[in-house]
């Protein structure tokens, strides 16, 4: 999936994202100009309060504001794609993904759910009275987390 745009193409892409449920935020996650986020999954506590525990983010960087950006390159807008998992208020697990390995947004969303399922199955959420911490389990015969993510990316890219 393409992540570098000229202004015209990006405007159309951003409108599509917003129509698909993304919201624009001016906060700063990584010094981006702004980001677009979509909640993919919510959890509800015993009081009926809900919070997002799986989100997809596109951080938007506009390089046209830099005078030394190559004039021949009109792809001023660059995106960074991340998945955020937060099963409790003190937990945040992020995965920056190479969206070029995916054909469209639906594949990225499907991969986000696979990542969430991996976290649920392999990283135990422990909360003490003073803080929370996570303890990785050794999944699938000792494969590492990176091995599992790479295997899922390869599986998705084999669809092509």
DSSP per-residue codes, 37-58: EEEEEEEE-TTS-EEEEEEEEE
| Residue 56 pLDDT level (bands cut at 50, 70, 90) | very high
pLDDT for 38: 96
Query: What percent of the chain lies above the pLDDT cut of 70?
Result: 81
pLDDT for 24: 95
pLDDT for 147: 67
- Higher-pLDDT residue of 35, 44: 35
- Higher-pLDDT residue of 102, 128: 102
Q: At what angle do helices 145-157 and 105-122 cross, to 10 degrees?
A: 150
pLDDT above 90 (res 11): yes
């Amino acid at each position: 999936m393409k992540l570098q745009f000229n202004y015209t193409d990006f405007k159309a892409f951003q409108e599509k994202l917003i129509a698909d449920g993304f919201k624009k935020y001016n906060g700063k996650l990584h010094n981006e100009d702004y980001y677009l986020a979509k909640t993919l999954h919510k959890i509800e506590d015993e009081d009926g309060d809900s919070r997002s525990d799986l989100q997809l983010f596109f951080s938007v960087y506009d390089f046209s504001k830099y005078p030394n950006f190559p004039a021949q390159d009109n792809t001023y807008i660059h995106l960074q794609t991340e998945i955020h998992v937060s099963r409790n208020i003190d937990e945040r697990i992020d995965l920056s993904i190479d969206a070029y390995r995916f054909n469209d947004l639906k594949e990225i969303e499907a991969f986000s759910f696979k990542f969430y399922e991996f976290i649920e199955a392999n990283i135990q959420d422990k909360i003490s009275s003073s803080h929370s911490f996570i303890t990785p389990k050794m999944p699938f015969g000792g494969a590492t987390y990176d091995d599992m993510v790479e295997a899922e990316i390869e599986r998705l890219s084999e669809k092509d």
